[in-house]
Structure 1
Amino acid sequence: MRPGVILRLAALAFLVAMLLSPQSFAPLFRPFTQNNAPPIYTQTSLLSLTLNHLMLVALAVGAATVVAVGLGILVTRPSGAEFRPLSRTITSIGQTFPPVAVLALAVPVMGFGNWPTLIALFLYGLLPIFENTLTALSNVPAAVNEAARGMGLTAAQRLLRVELPLAVPVILAGVRLSAVISLATATIGSTVAAKTLGEVIIAGLLSNNTAFVLQGGLIVGIMAILIYDGFQLLERVTARRTGASGR
């Protein structure tokens, strides 16, 4: 087994153990506390915060994927090509305005909690997925499309049976980037009362407890690495199945 695989399995085991039995790691974090402060964050369960954090990221990235891929398909069709500049403007909104600014604008309308965070993550995740979808669909070999047309496939059939399957690995790369960005960005949702791992980090900063900051950062960092690797594996599998790895 390769060293990289062993390290990732060890990271996964550490993450699971940390979430299921955080008090077992008290000796590890105690050196980072001061004045007999608690070494483990207990105000809210680390497991519940992690699950809610992942749920927010999954919902936001899922919605961003549907919208961004839909726009990418639209603007790569002859009938929708004129909307490409507008689509780029729409999907760039999240990158133009920092997530903190989006949260500040969303709170007066939606109140505190998960919804402002979902909106911020959704907007922030659109651009990488849209751009990758655009690139993938625009670079489908003309010969492949001509062969599909020669077989009598309709435009919809060519999209579903030829273009999208070939584009999936590149689209997944955009989803991977969006997911990792959203995973890290979701921590700021705790500033508007969303239940994310940012709660642990913020509590540590406010109380000058480095142990809390390390806990939140470690959990988010390990999940980001595992999610990144998971998507990379999925990209390689889909590329092999479609023959894209050989192009």
Structure 2
Amino acid sequence: MAGVSMAGFRGRAEDSVELRMVPYPAITMFIDFGDALLVDDASGTRKRGGVIVGPGLGSVRGSGRDVDLLQVRLSPVVAHAVLGASFELAATVVALEDLWGRDAERMREQVRAAGSWDDRFAVMTAALARRRAAGRAVDPEVAFIWRQMMTSRGRVRVERLAAEVGWSRRRLWSRFRSQIGLTPKRAATLVRFDHVAHRLAAGHSAALVAAEGGFVDQSHLCRDVMAFAGMTPAAVAAAPWLAFDDVAWPARERALGV
């Protein structure tokens, strides 16, 4: 399904392993059957089982010893129809049951009973497809603008996009924020940050990444990285989550589409 990517993880460790999430331009769904605990340090929220993490959150950390986890990334365009709560999810961690009710537990049991990861992916894909068909799609203009942001890696002028779709700046801000969960400017900056973070993790210098990413100078890159991740570029480059991320979603598969 376009706009959806999945990865599965299973294993045990002698001691609990903790990873802090690096902000990402997608809504992330965790379906856990082990002992994983997700904590949002900003709000104090602690969740287990089926959990939804809003786009761009950098205050979330996960920990556990017994890992049996299906992780799903949803483009905000897809998430609007599948979850029906884009605005509310923008900066929070919520239980899947709060959005899907009893269907969440039924889906979790079907995924748990599946005999292989491919079967688990198939069960989840079917569940998402049903929800998407029954949900309300974003405006075509919003979907177009999101595609432009992803294609340009966040280097777009939002005013130009508004003019291109024939909307006023006020209308674009209102419709985009209600359906995607972020303002257009914040969304574009998040997309650019994601590209920067993966370039840093790949070993490129902050100075080079700043120059290639269209930043005025390296200090502006440092400011944006600190604003999103609460870490310096050097710390982001060494973040365990990004190494883990690259195994789960290799660079060639990272594009979210719509």
Q: TM-score, normalised by structure 1?
A: 0.26
The structure with the greater share of residues assigned to helix is 1
Q: TM-score, normalised by structure 2?
A: 0.25
The structure with the greater share of residues assigned to strand is 2
Q: Which of the pair has more CA radius of gyration? A: 1
